[in-house]
A and B are shown apart, each in its own frame.
Chain A
Amino acid sequence: MTPNVHRAMPALVVALALGAISLGACGGFDITNTNQPTQTDLENNPTRSKLSAAATGIFAGARSDIAGFIWQVGSMGREGINLAGNNQPDYQEPYFGPLSSTQFGGSQWAGRYANIRSINVYLDAAPKAPDLTAEELAASQGFGKTVEALAFLYVIETRAKLGAPVDVNRSVTASPPPFVSEDSVYGFIVGLLDEAQTSLQAAGGTSFPFPTPPGFSGFDQPSTFLLFNRALKAKAEVLRATAGCGQPCFAAALATLPSTFISMDASALATGPQFDFSTASGDVSNELADPLDGTTFFADTFVIVHAQHQASSALDARVLAKTARATRVPTWSIPAVPLPGTLKYTIYFSGGQPNPNAPVPIIRNEELILLRAEAELGTGDRGGALTDINFIRTNSGRLPAISSGTWNGMSDADRIGELLYERWYSLMWEQGTRWIDARRYNLLNTIELGVPDGQVPQQMPVPQDECSARNLPTTCSPLGT
């Protein structure tokens, strides 16, 4: 026999291929990702416990950018500065300008929309959960839409006339949603809050089917969460009023405020829901709790320059309570920035020590009273406004009350100035209030530059990724505003 094994090779190949198919068929190639839950699982197989976890994530997501919001918007309004040293854009952009669409200037956007996506996934999944009652579903929807409205509020507060996209619950591969005007964004926010109100009311006496963080104690049932929802609506209406809507929106705010937790109780100025922070594993600590010898955040000394005096000639009690001298003067200071960096905020301190667990208020009674004062001014109720302002001046700032004679003798601009002073010092290093208010009332030119050749930004730009997704240049204004 002269075997020709070469010609036998096809047989071997076939045999091996058969083996291969049998091996290939033995499965095991659908390896799942065991590291994280998947989004499709939440979307397609939601359960009470998965939705509960998602709700917790939404609470966490609502908080995620707040420290950045406070120091970034605060830097633009010269409330304080981040001198962390190597991240030049952190002080360079807000003080020297221009804001870039990728670094400092492009921030305070993506994180908010990420939470909006989380909320939309949650809202789409919740009706599919087999183990939620109709009331619990309504409670969940009221919660989701309220937090979504809050996210849009933060977005539009920094972008103002540039507008923002609101129709964002679409596939990530779909064409980008259109930008709508500042007024439309506020309209969308108010719409969400009103839908949420309907849902929260429909929830009746049921509890939320998820745990609420401690910062929401007092606002942790659908009926009490509604107080928070209405507070946001009042705020949105006031902000919308100065974005062109005017008196009707101020009136809407006044109509809403009684449904909030507003109270003329001097001991309840701090009442309101809060964002929690903690040093627990997986949690986020309050980075604004920078020690007196820390070298990151400093209060700008303009807070002292502008402070009014108490009858005792001491400074506004809010300045005394919220700031202290830095114990480590940064003699290492960055050569380009001549800021002395001598003052620190102590708002996030407890017992004289920085408290990384310190919560950050979302909206509190003191702000509601000032929102009412503003709406009253906007609707011509000077007297009501003075009552509210004096309440804050005397209780929060320990300042002498303004007499009605003085008040009525002031120009409109001065009355607004007085209102904005109270808002600044009451909400200092909590909300970026000074810059936002100055922009709302066209007073950005009253904010000090602080450094030679400095600039105070008009608004934060549209992030570059939004521009490039719409084939627009790096710095763009999709609405042409």
Chain B
Amino acid sequence: MPTRLVRWVVIAALVAPATLVAQQRPIRGTVTNADNGQPVPGAVITVRLGGRGVAQAGDDGRFTIVVDPVPVRLLARAVGYAPAEVSVAVADSTVTIRLKSDPLLLDAVVVTGQATGIERRLATTSTSLVTGDRVNAVSAASVDKALQGKVAGADIQTNSGAPGGGAQIQIRGINTILGASDPLIVVDGVIYSNATVASGLYTVTGSGSAAGTGPQQDDADNRLADLNPADIASVEVLKSAAASSIYGSKAANGVIIITTKRGLGGKPKATISQRLGFSSLLRGPGMRVFDTTSAFDLYNSPEDSAVIRSLEVNGRLPVYDHLQEAAGNKPLSYETSLDVSGGNDNTQYFVSGGWSHQGGIINNTDAGRQSVRMNLDQRLNEKLKLSLSNSFTRTTTNRGMSNNDNSGAGITYALAYIPSFVPLKPVNGEYPQPAFTYQNANPLQTIALASNAETVNRFTGGATLTYQALQSGKNDLRLVGAAGADLFNQKNTVYAPPNLYFEATQQYPGVSTLGNADSRYVNWNLNAIDVFTPSGPSMSFTTSAGLQYEDRQLAQARSTAIGLLEGQSNIDQGAVFGQPFELNTREKTFAMYAQEQLQAFDERLLAEVGLRAERSSVFGNTNQYFIYPKISAAYRFPNLFGDGSDFKLRGAYGETGNQPLFGQKFTTLVGGVNIGGNVGTQVGSVAGAPNIEPERVKEFETGFDASPFHGRATLEFTWYVRHTTNLLLARTPPSSSGYSELITNGGELRNSGIEMTLGVAAVQQRDFSWTIHSTFARTRSLVQQLPGTGFSPPTAGFGLAFGEFFVEQGRPIDQIIGQTSINPDGSFNVTYMGHASPNFKWAIGNDFTYKRFFLTSLWDWQSGGVAQNQTLTLYDCNLLAPDNGTPAGMARANNCFDGIATPYVQSTSFLKLREVSLGYTLSDNLAQKFFGSSQVRVEVTGRNLLIFTNYWGYDPESSNYGQQAVTRNVDLGPYPPSRTFMFTITAGF
């Protein structure tokens, strides 16, 4: 009713500025560790009842806080400890608060909405939280690589071994075929681009065209690589649709919420960390060893025989380890990071700088990042608080030449063509032209002279303004507005000089490509959150509602020159200019949401309902709102397994979406077609869908969280089933239609699985502690319904003779099919050969401390799943596999010639020792004496130290096509994998 509405608006306006004036008293206190009585530095103390002060304990654990002259309750929180609440009577002016350590993060806060959160033990959906300490336990090139094995249900796979970024995250299985496959990434409330912008390497390798599959095969890095992992305070992964539906039509692949470190106030504190180490080749294919006879058999023309004779050394064919020559570097890597934080009651700051360099095991490849961050929290008045988060990053990479190659540029690709008796190393500075190779290439010459460089400058800034509109005994109303921008510019140069052997035979030798990308993401949101506690802490309602707007733009352009002047690499130094490419995309999304969160019966019953409505420029009907509901509930049984234990049953239903990609609704003409000096248009190969809609994920999950043994162990178990309907499909129409792709909505995909996260604080003693972290996940996918027939997704592979992805009803979404036998009539028998996703992933981490020593390790086990090992097909078809002389090797080679895919679709099962860290924390005396520092830690860390697998060749985690929803596991001449050791000193001041 309008009159009532007006009344409430008036009341809301009237109460907002209400303030209380009260007499005040100071309380002095100490925060200590309940286990050993040591002070807990940096704890934050807030007044729960009787005032609104905030204070922070110093290094000695002491604090002073001003409260009202009434009995008050104080709450103390510190990282790694469970929060504790104490009462202070009117007469008391001192207090000691004892905090219990919380290595399993039961009391950390997880996200429930755009501006709301809840303690983890009260969450109604499954949660995954990784602290910054665990992210940074062992140095990693990018945040996604650092998260491998740490989040149950997040399948994180590196695309290649190249230095720098280049990994993909898949949460709860494959939920799309054609849509975006990356989770949404939000850093301090700012939507953060994780775009993968191709380098243009395809202009040298000829792997594909700009409009075709060229850009995907460039082994480009994804832009999460720009985020300095050292700045991260925590990473939360929203996996369930009920949790991620707060991000609506972009959340089907999950949401990764990254929170960076912030100042806690108090005296300035500084941390300096220096890492120094090296990498080395982890594994790769062996080589076939020849004698003169077997060489004659393989290379059988008279000219060949003469060449082979000429290569003999003392009458025998030599053996060169070409992989070691190409990728045997042990390059230095280093990482320096510094941060300073501090402030006072009103102002808290965190400033950091980072400088890292990662060497590549192939010469002239590396990755670097320089970053600065400034996070500031400013209380403007009693009710108004402003939080700023800003970072500037410069990321550089030299990634070399890898992946699919048609010209002779790829390093490991060419190695598959060169027999071990052919010398490649330079003689008197001249690289020999190999007698037997691929497209005349000498890969060592390519390494020395070609380049593939990238520079990214990125600014990410966000501001959040929180207005405490009302705070009374029963009501707590906040208005939160946030806005952010994420801007980057990426420049790529790819250069193959004309004197490279593989270039010299081209019509126009020498290629130079200059690429530029400009990305601009802007988002803002407005929220009102009211917490209503009608009758004390036993029951509360949190109501929130708000708006969100997002504008994403990416402009890419590339230009190539061929026929270069010797020694010149600028794109105006060539004979022919071509392959121009420009693509500008823009998506706008606007959303409204409302949400209610209930806690009742002393935090036993927890429930949430929410609704989000979204419209977007990428939908066919841009005026239509799509609705995403969620509902979840949990019931807790505190102390069920004895004092301090907890048990919670939970269930949730939610819906999220996946937006169509820009351009999928348009049927475009191909412009810029030239003949005889005239420019023209042709009908494009893709028929768009003018009425396209987002994909929709509907998910039900249920499970329990148990923390028995006084909360010293946790087991989180979740079972889920998600149906994705209205899939974005690129159907293959009959090519007589003139189109090769038809975009439609349709079909249904089912993913179900279980996730378990186990944490055990097995031993918690003064001198010795042992904590176990384990994650387990398995997912099963099934294409339940597909309009029309099955189809090969784009980038399905290289033909049925080697195995190809094929989407088909009644099969796993990522099945690989191939020719497995020849029928009597000469035709091939094409059968199912497995699916790319693993059957399960299981990671186990152990953290030990003994006195001042600590040892952490993380094992990552992946079982099942298959990949297209195209690298092996090269070795086999060239008769250069190490076992070629054996019956097994010959049988495989025959399969290659017969077109049988069986040997080339291989299991990717592996066990990797992802992370090891062994360190020592210096005593305060030593730290003070040698470093003048309050705390010093020295450690040796290693990443990817060991791998156990039956997979042939390089790394079972390889993706020739980069970031892909379905067609991930294709291994074709990748950058080889490496292991990394780092020596680290961290000092706090």
Q: A: which residues have CB within 8 A of B?
A: 1, 3-17, 19-20, 23-24, 28-31, 33-40, 42, 50, 52-61, 63, 84-89, 92, 96, 98, 100, 102-103, 109-110, 113-118, 120-121, 164-165, 168, 170, 172-173, 176-177, 211-215, 276, 278-285, 289, 291, 293-295, 328-329, 331-336, 338, 340, 354, 356, 463, 465-466, 468-471, 474-475
Which residues of the partner chain B approach A57 to less than 8 Å between Cβ atoms?
A: 669-670, 673, 680-682
Whether the pair A102, B799 counts as a contact (CB closer than 8 A) is yes
Query: A114 and B666: CB pair below 8 A?
Result: no
- Selected contact of A40 from candidates B406, B438, B667, CB within 8 Å: B667
Q: Is the CB of A117 within 8 A of B800?
A: no
Contacting pair B15 A5 (CB below 8 A): yes
Q: Given contacts A331-B299, A332-B438, are A36 and B671 in contact (CB under 8 A)?
A: yes
Given contacts A24-B590, A335-B878, A340-B301, contact A84 B406 (CB under 8 A): yes
Interface residues of B in 370-424 (CB under 8 A from A): 405-406, 413, 417
- Distance in angstroms from A291 CB to nearest chain B CB is 7
B545, A12: Cβ atoms closer than 8 Å:
yes
Most buried by A among B300, B508, B547: B547
Q: Is B584 an interface residue (CB 8 A)?
A: yes
Q: How far is the CA of A53 from the CA of B683 in the complex (A)?
A: 11
B505 and A331 form a contact (CB under 8 A): no
Q: Is the interface of B mostly helix, strand, loop or mixed?
A: mixed
B contact residues around A333 at 8 Å (CB): 299, 301, 304
Sorted from nearest, which 7 A-B pairs have the closest CB atoms?
Answer: A117-B738, A56-B680, A213-B676, A57-B680, A6-B532, A282-B674, A110-B735
Number of A-B pairs, beta carbon distance below 8 Å: 327
Known: A20-B592, A113-B735, A282-B580. A56 touches B436 (CB 8 A): no
Closest-by-CB residue of B relative to A166 is B736
B687 within 8 A of A: yes
B570-613 interface code vs A (CB 8 A; 1 in, 0 out): 00000111101011101110101010000000000000000000
Chain B nearest CB from A6 CB (Å) reads 4
Binds A, one of B53-61, B101-109, B614-622: B614-622
Nearest CB of chain A from residue B403's CB, rounded to whole Å: 12
If A172-B739, A281-B580 touch, does A356 touch B507 (CB 8 Å cutoff)? yes
B768 within 8 A of A: no
Which of B528, B616, B667, B675 contacts A276, CB < 8 Å? B675
Residues from chain B with a CB closer than 8 A to the CB of A84 are: 406
Residues of chain A lying within 8 A (CB to CB) of residue B477: 5
From A42, A165, A331, give the contact of B301 (CB < 8 A).
A331
Give chain B nearest CB distance to A295 CB in angstroms.
6
Task: Determine whether the beta carbon of A29 is less than 8 Å from that of B742.
Answer: no
A53 touches B680 (CB 8 A): yes
Chain A residues contacting B23 (CB-CB under 8 Å) are none
How far is A7 from B671 in the complex, measured between Cα atoms in Å? 58
Task: Answer yes or no: B879 CB below 8 A from chain A CBs.
Answer: yes
- Of B406, B474, B586, B666, most buried by chain A (CB within 10 Å of CB) is B666
Taking CB as reference atom, which chain A residue is nearest B577? A281
Cα A11 to Cα B545 in complex, Å, equals 11
Q: How far apart are the CA atoms of A109 and B15 in the complex, in Å?
A: 74
Query: B549 within 8 Å of A by Cβ?
Result: yes
Residues of A within 8 A of B594 (CB): 13
Kindly identify which residue among B8, B472, B615, B734 contacts A11, using a CB–CB cutoff of 8 Å: B8
Instruction: Collect the chain A residues with CB atoms within 8 Å of residue B417's CB.
Output: 85, 332
Question: Nearest chain-A residue to B790 (Cβ)?
Answer: A468
Check if B438 sits within 8 Å of A87, measured CB to CB. Answer: no
Interface pair B681/A42, CB less than 8 Å apart: yes
Complex-state Cα separation, A279 to B676, whole angstroms: 10
Chain B residues with CB under 8 Å of A295's CB are: 439-440, 505
The reply to whether A279 and B592 contact each other, CB–CB distance below 8 Å, is no
Min CB distance, A353 to chain B, in Å? 10
- A15 touching B9, Cβ below 8 Å: yes
Contact at A168–B738, with CB atoms within 8 Å? yes
- Chain B residues contacting A53 (CB-CB under 8 Å) are 671, 679-681
Is B307 engaged at the interface, CB distance under 8 Å to the other chain?
yes
Nearest residue (CB) in A for B675 is A60
Residue B255 interfacial (CB < 8 Å): no
A-B contact pairs, 17 of them (CB 8 A): A6-B543, A13-B594, A33-B662, A36-B670, A52-B680, A57-B669, A57-B681, A89-B799, A92-B897, A102-B800, A115-B682, A117-B739, A170-B737, A213-B676, A332-B437, A335-B878, A336-B879
Asked if B298 is an interface residue, CB under 8 A from chain A, the answer is yes
Q: Chain A residues with Cβ under 8 A from B582's Cβ?
A: 35
Q: Given the complex of chains A and B, what is the CA–CA distance between A332 and B666 in angstroms? A: 47
Closest to A122 in B: B683
Cα–Cα distance between A67 and B392 once the two chains are bound (Å): 50
Residues on B with C-beta less than 8 A from A278 are 674, 676-677
- In the complex, what distance in Å separates the CA atom of A16 from the CA atom of B526? 9
Set B11, B439, B734: member contacting A176, Cβ < 8 A:
B734
A56 touching B673 by the CB < 8 A rule? Answer: yes
Please state if B546 and A60 are interface contacts (CB–CB under 8 Å): no
* 10 new A-B contacts at CB < 8 Å, known A86-B405, A110-B740: A9-B530, A30-B622, A40-B667, A57-B682, A165-B736, A170-B737, A331-B303, A332-B434, A332-B437, A469-B733
- Return the CB mask of B12-34 against A: 1 if under 8 Å, else 0: 10110000000000000000000
CB distance from B12 to the nearest CB of A (A): 4
Distance A29 CA – B301 CA, assembled complex (angstroms): 67
Residues in chain A near residue B740, CB distance under 8 A: 110, 114, 465
Interface size on B, residues (CB 8 A): 113
Is B313 an interface position by the 8 A CB rule? no
Which partner residue on chain B sits nearest A175 by CB separation? B734
A5 touches B737 (CB 8 A): no
Tell me the complex Cα distance, A55–B673, Å: 11
B714-763 contacts to A (CB < 8 Å):
732-740, 742, 744
Identify which of A40, A293, A331, A468 contacts B436 (C-beta below 8 A). Answer: A331
Known: A11-B8, A29-B623, A56-B680. A168 touches B505 (CB 8 A): no
B535 is an interface residue with CB less than 8 A from chain A: no
Residue B470 lies at the interface, judged by CB distance under 8 Å to chain A? yes
State A336–B874 Cα separation when bound (angstroms).
12
Contacts of B855 in A (CB 8 A): none
Closest B residue to A341 by beta carbon equals: B301
Interface contact B675-A283, CB-CB below 8 Å: yes
Q: With A85-B439, A114-B739, A354-B507 given, is the CB distance from A335 to B879 under 8 Å?
A: yes
Q: By the criterion CB–CB under 8 Å, are B799 and A100 in contact?
A: yes
- B181 CB → nearest A CB, Å: 22
Query: For residue A3, which residues in chain B have a CB less than 8 angstroms away from its CB?
Result: 11, 14-15, 470, 472, 475
Q: Which residue of B lies closest to A87 (CB)?
A: B406
Q: Shortest CB–CB separation between residue B663 and chain A, in angstroms?
A: 6
Q: Chain B contacts of A5 at CB under 8 A?
A: 11-12, 15, 469-470, 475, 477, 530, 532
Q: How far is the CB of A221 from chain B (nearest CB, A)?
A: 16
Is B329 engaged at the interface, CB distance under 8 Å to the other chain?
Answer: no
Q: Does B88 have its Cβ within 8 Å of any Cβ on chain A?
A: no
Q: How far is the CB of B186 from chain A (nearest CB, A)?
A: 21
Q: Which residues does chain A contribute within 8 Å of B437, judged by CB atoms?
A: 332
On chain B, the residues within 8 Å of A56 by CB distance are: 673, 675, 678-681
Say yes or no for B91: interface residue by CB 8 A criterion: no
**Min C-beta distance of B381 to chain A, whole Å:** 20
Q: Are B505 and A291 in contact (CB under 8 A)?
A: yes
Q: Taking CB as reference atom, which chain A residue is nearest B12?
A: A8
**Known contacts A36-B670, A60-B674, A283-B675, A9 near B543 by CB under 8 Å:** yes
* Residues of the B chain whose Cβ atoms lie less than 8 Å from the Cβ of A28: 588, 617
Shortest Cβ distance from A17 into chain B, in angstroms?
Answer: 6
Provide the residues of chain A in CB contact with B475, threshold 8 Å: 3-6
Q: How far is the CA of A103 from the CA of B578 in the complex (A)?
A: 27
Residues of B within 8 A of A58 (CB): 680, 682
Q: Considering only CB atoms, which chain A residue lies closest to B438 in the complex?
A: A85
Closest residue on chain A to residue B16 by CB atoms: A5
Interface centre among B437, B617, B681, B830 (most CB of A within 10 A): B681
B663's partner among A6, A33, A39, A176 (CB-CB below 8 A) is A33
In the bound complex, how far is the Cα of B11 from the Cα of A29, in angstroms?
Answer: 36
